[in-house]
Amino acid sequence: MFRPVNLFRLVLVALSFGVTGILVLAIGSFFVVADWAEVGHNLLDPTLLASLRLSLWTAASSALLVMLCALPIGLALSRYAFRGRGLVKAVVDLPVAFPELVLGLCLLLCFGKTPVGKWLSAVGLPLVFTKQGVVAAQFFTALPYAIRIMKSTYDFIDPRLEFVSRSLGYSSLQTFWNVTLPMAKSGLVAAGVISFARCLGTFGTVLILAGGSAGKTDTLPIHLYLNISYGNLSLAMTSGMVLIAVAFAAIFLFEKTEARL
């Protein structure tokens, strides 16, 4: 007896393999077309190494700031009903729908020659065309994704466990630290990895706010763009390979960590 073919399942599996195959071909083209002798030489290029160091430093700093904000904001949106909650959620989610260039322009207008921008410059934290601006651009680009992940994570945690903790005399902060946060560790890791990867790959927001100055604010995506503009396709491809490798390492680390949780 032959088992009947589940057409719906077959279509879903075929679609999954089809899209995956296209992505593999697109990513694989980097490694097939590349001249590996030039790639090896380009990996030691001082400008590429400087961009890599800047990217890793700013992405790590931005991701840390993102998580410090996403943890409490996600909890507030998940657990508490307050006036203006819908507005906060809508505004926080707006950058997801914005093109990065629009978000960068908004930040430039906000932190440029305005009272806010002048005050930041006065306290030694100028954001326009500076490395601090790179961090700010990455922060505002990645923050909505981390908040969404953390809110969804908190939504799946039974609030009755928190009520029990409060009834035993623990404060709200103690309950969050000892009950909620340990149960949210999988979402915490996911949000952290996604935030880091999103910060690392931010292009348009950084270009507009930080300027993408060679040797100063050129992160790896900016370095890739600048070299394409100069016609140096080999160095641009090497920058893309490094970005792919770092992103793959981050996702691999996430999968390994998630499996242990």
Mean pLDDT of 194-222: 89
What b/e string do you get for 8-25 counting C-beta neighbours within 10 Å, with b at 16 or more?
Answer: eeeeeeeeeeeeeeeeee
List, for residues 24-47, the tens digit of each pLDDT value.
888 888 778 878 888 888 888 898
Per-residue pLDDT at 190 exceeds 60: yes
Percent of the residues in the chain that have a pLDDT greater than 90, as a whole number: 41
> What are phi and psi for residue 19, nearest 5 degrees?
-65, -40
- Supply angle C-alpha 208, 212, 214, rounded to 5: 165
- Mean pLDDT in the chain? 88
| Calpha distance 197→101 (Å, rounded) | 18
Per-residue pLDDT at 259: 64
Predicted confidence band of residue 212 (pLDDT cuts 50, 70, 90)? confident
In Å, how far are 75, 180, 203 from 146, measured between CA atoms?
12, 17, 18
Per-residue pLDDT at 6: 76
Q: Does the CA dihedral 110-114-116-121 come out positive or negative?
A: positive
Per-residue pLDDT at 2 exceeds 60: no
Structure tokens at 181: 């946060």
Per-residue pLDDT at 146: 95
Residue 173 CB coordination number (10 Å): 8
Per-residue pLDDT at 234: 86
List, for residues 67-90, the tens digit of each pLDDT value.
999 999 999 999 888 888 889 988
- Which residue did the predictor score with more confidence, 58 or 211? 58
